[in-house]
Every structure is written in structure tokens, then in C-alpha cells.
Amino acid sequence: MAEEVYDVIICGAGSGGGFLSGEVAPYGSVLILDAGPHLAGEANHGFGSPARRRAATQINLGNYHPDNPFFNRGNLFFSYPMYMIEANPINASIAREARVVGGGSFINVGAWIRPRSIDWPGFAEETGVEGWTKAEFEPHFQKAEQILHVHRDPRSVWNKASILYEQAAQSLGIPIYPVASNRFRCIYCGHRLNAGMPCKYDALMSTAITQVPKALSFGAEIVDNATVVRILIENNRAVGVTYTREREAITVRARKLVVLAAGAIGTPLIMRSSGLHLINDNVGRFLRAHPGVPLDVLLPGDDWNSDRGYQWNVSHYIHDENGEPIDVLAFASAAFPSNTPWVAASIGFFGKPYKDLMRRFRQRAGVFLFEKKPSRFGRVVGTVEGPEVFYPVVDKSGFLEPKMLNDFHISVRQANEIFRRMGAITTFPAADTPPAILNQLLTLFVTTTGAIHSQGTCRAGASPANSVCDTYGMVHGLDGLMCCDASVIPHHISSNPNSLIMALANRASEFVITQILGRAINPEFHVSLPQRPQSDEALAGGVAV
């Protein structure tokens, strides 16, 4: 293996890298390296494979203390130390990033939300990037949506809590959007509620069971449990990588392209381990993520079925007192029991223990509130071997930065109103919580649970002065190196990121095929677009504002 040469080496087979691999593999030799395990086996939608079913029942996110034998530590995740409190720089939280072939797409909730119309102009405004427009990305979303079977479920399979949540919100004049999802032959077992493990029945259309198998069927090779630690650079060109596997360091070479797709934390770490931050100071900067706060409720009766069915069924943007949407996206219905910081810190809000708790407390429901546009950036520093993430959303006052705090106050009030209409007996946090206490609670939730959806750390832009790579992810000032994952997203988006990552990977794949490999695109190797395009408003719950 040490001397082998490939046209393209893809480091990380998650949403971005996995998607790219399937589109590019028909045109050249491709090596896929991933730090996590490959739970192989033919996709069997509705049933699952033995390896994936085993993983789905045995693994959870694990605890912050990775070497503590008393906790059921998951092994499908990196737990990067993340420093969120400017007032207490010693106190570390965690950023949980997938570590498995399929990456985040393999263990996420499967909520498919496109960016809102208002997000698109922000990309060029922030970094001068060209081509990041709604119109240019439209066919790429459509293609990804076809491959991944993106659709909306009928209300007949929703849980009761979601149906009544929708009615209550609409009665308050809040526009509600059924959440689209990338699943196929889902049996509504409730498993997606507890993201953080693979779908037991292969319904979640991750790259692990779609694009990666496609790449392998075209001759791509995959090495799992292979942690890329360095990029090999010769004459200002990336010509390969070194990875470690079972304590052995192995170097492989790329004739045409090295693709970094290790996620918004993993990709800048590989670049920093290779010294590229010394050439471009923007490597690792401009980290953004989405801190989330759950609001839990106790409802009368015990037939709310929050543990069953696809979660989350409905989404909406929280509206302020003027009826204007703010930057908080709410997902219902399910939240309990992550609201207890102890529980959140111990099991995360995902995994089997979470589902078990949901099943024991059947009178509970809730909503997740995601802040989509915090006003603070973070930064990834350190190396692959010694990662550190700074994301100081709690400022020197010891509380969440004012914009986020304000947004969450409005959100708690509105979600309370909706649940009260549904007849909630108690809500937590309650709307009448004294502001000082609420500030404390919100700050505690965010800093114990961390933030997911990290992005922007090798962002695309017009020049190295404000970005790391160009519109297609090609790294400024160095030949043969591309980034293709959440790290390239140039600016805030008010959606969950998976759909955009798949779309940008498809767009990048066309660049690789035509510009790097010098081949013409052969429609036989790709899905054709649907006759009748589905708009983002129709599919993704995006608000046309």
C-alpha cells in the first residue's frame, strides 16, 4: 500500500467526501481513507445489515470522559474539547463529530433543510465567493435529493404530539413546515429520534449505504480506521497523504488531487498538522456551529408517542413580537430529557439511553431550538493528534452572548405558548422563569451539550485574504488540494447543513471530473434530474423570505 498511487485520494467519507466519491469514482482511480470503521454490507432498506444493526443497538455517543470505563463510551465519534466560556477558559465542553464511514450522514437525524432564500446573498457579501447562488446550486440539490430519496412523510405516520404542535402553532399564526428527510422504507421505529447511532434498518440514506457503495462498485478502494495526519507537499503541490492505521504510518500518493473531507473540525486539523495555517492564517478560523436548547413539557395523558415515528416531524422559525422570523429554528416534537444538564453531559441528547428514557416517560414531549446565527465565530487550533476548538459563545459576563440570549428568550416564550395551547401541565424552561435564572439555565444547557453543525473553518471566498479555498473548494495558493465538506461553507446558513454539504459536493464533483480529470460527464454514471423540479420551499421547509 505504501507506494500506491491514485488519481484522487479522498480523506474522510462523510456527507461531503462520501458523496463526492460516488460521483467521481467512475472517472478515475479513487482511494477513500476514513478515520472510523466501515460498517459494510449491502444496503437493505427496511431491514439493515447485521453489522449496522449491531452498531445501532450497542453504541451511543458516549461521555465526555473518553477513557472512563464506567460509561458506555461510543466509538463512532470524535469528542473534541471545545472551549465555550470566555470567562472560564479552563472549562471545556465537547464538539461531537462523527468518526465512521458515512460521517455525519450516517448518524444524524436526517432532517433535510435547504438554506433559506435570505442566506444566499450572504455568501458573496462575506467572502466575495462567486457561484454560491440559489440558482447555481438548484440542480445540485435536486440531484442529491433524488439520490437520497428526500421526501416528506404523510401526517398519518407522525406522532400525536407533532400533529397537535402543528395545529397549535398555526392557530397562533406561525407558519409550520413538515420536515423533509432522506430516508427510504422507514418503519417509523423512533430510532431517528436518537441520532448518534446508525439507522438500524438502513432507512437513513447516508453516504455509507448510497454513494460510498457506488464508488466501490466503480473500483474505488476504501481503507477504514485510517487517520490522515499529514498532507504530502512537493513543489507547492499536494501529492499525497500520510495516514496512521494500527500504529503504522502509511504514505499514499495522488496523481491529480487530494481531497480533504474530514469535517469542519477534522479538515483544518489536517491542514494545521501539515503547516498550512502558517501560509494562510484563515485555516481553522470562522468556525460557526448551532447551539441548541431543548424545551421539555409534561402533557396530560400518556399517548403522545414522542418516542415513536420519525422525529422531528415539524419545523418553524421562531417569530418575534412583530411576527418576523428570527434566527432560531424549532424542531418538534421531541426533546425530553436532554434538558437536565446532567443527562445531557452523560449521554448527550442522542443514543440508545435517550430513546430508553423517552419510552419510560410517555407523557413527555418537547421542541429543540437551534440558534442558527450566533454573532461569534470560533476557531479550530492544534493538530490531528492534539485538537482544540475555541467557540466562545459565552462571553466575559459568564452568559451567552447577548444576541443568542435574546433569541433564546423569545424562543422559550413562543414554544411555551404553543405547548400551553396543547394543554401542557408544565413546561421547562417555563415562560415566567425570572430572566436572571433563565440566563443561567440557557447558558448551562449550551455549555454542557456543546454545539453541532460545525462549519466554515476553511471557507470558500475570492481570495486568501479572507478565505481558504475558491468557489469549488480548491485551496488558494497550493495546487492539487481541495476541501469538500462543511468547512467550506462561506457564511451563516439558517438551516441544518447536511443538504448544502451534499449539494456542494455534487457541484465540486463536476469540477473534479471535467477540470481535474479532464473527462466529459457521462450521464450514464449519474442519476437524471426529475421531470418536475421540487422547489426548496416545497421540499425543505425553507421559508421564502
Applying CB under 6 A, the residues found at the interface with ligand FAD are 11-17, 33-36, 96-100, 103-105, 107-111, 195-196, 227-228, 261-264, 266, 270, 350, 384, 452-453, 485-486, 496-499, 501
Please provide the DSSP assignment of 509-535 as one string. HHHIIIIIS-----GGGSPPPPSSPPP
Q: Look up residue 344 and give its three cell numbers.
A: 445531557
CB of 252 to ligand FAD, least distance (A): 12
> Which CB atom, from 92 or from 168, has the smaller least distance to ligand FAD?
92
User: Is the Cβ of residue 247 or residue 532 nearer to ligand FAD in the bound state?
Assistant: 247
CB of 36 to ligand FAD, least distance (A): 4
The CB-of-230 to ligand FAD minimum distance in angstroms stands at 10
Taking the complex as a whole, the smallest distance from the CB of residue 537 to ligand FAD amounts, in Å, to: 17
User: Could you tell me where the DSSP H helices lie in 227-280?
Assistant: 263-273
* Least distance (Å) between residue 189 CB and ligand FAD: 17
Measure the CA–CA gap between 275 and 283, rounded to whole angstroms.
10
Please report how close the Cβ of residue 417 comes to ligand FAD at its closest, in angstroms: 25
E strand spans, 109-179: 111-112, 150-151, 177-178
In the structure grid, which three cell numbers stand for residue 312, read together?
422531528
Q: What is the largest CA-CA distance in the chain?
A: 69
Give 246: exposed, middle or buried? Use CB within 10 Å, 0-12, 13-18, 19+: exposed
Q: 159 or 433: whose CB is closer to ligand FAD? A: 159
* Type of residue numbered 88: N
Q: Are 27 and 18 in contact (CB under 8 A)?
A: no
Q: Which three cell numbers stand for residue 177?
A: 413546515
User: What's the min distance (Å) between Cβ of 90 and ligand FAD?
Assistant: 25
Instruction: Give the residue with the Cβ less far from ligand FAD, 15 or 414.
Output: 15
Task: Quote the crossing angle between the two packed helices 435-449 and 402-421, to the nearest 10°.
Answer: 100
**Strands lying side by side in the sheet with 77-85:** 92-98, 77-85, 387-394, 379-382
**Secondary structure letter of residue 194 according to DSSP:** G
Whether the upstream peptide bond of residue 392 has omega within 30° of 0, thus cis, is no
Q: Is 461 in contact with 128 (CB distance < 8 Å)?
A: yes
Residue with cell 450572504: 122
Query: Least CB distance from residue 453 to ligand FAD, whole Å?
Result: 5
Dihedral, CA of residue 432, residue 435, residue 438 and residue 444, to nearest 10: 180
Across the strands, what pairs with 428?
A: 296
Query: For ligand FAD, which is the closer residue by CB, 148 or 168?
Result: 148
Q: Which is nearer to ligand FAD, 36 or 48 (CB)?
A: 36
Q: Name which of 266 and 353 has its Cβ closer to ligand FAD.
A: 266
**Complex with ligand FAD: residue 303 or 385, whichever CB lies closer:** 385
Determine the Cα–Cα distance for residues 499 and 496; give it in Å rounded to an integer: 8
Q: Which is nearer to ligand FAD, 213 or 422 (CB)?
A: 213
CB of 348 to ligand FAD, least distance (A): 8
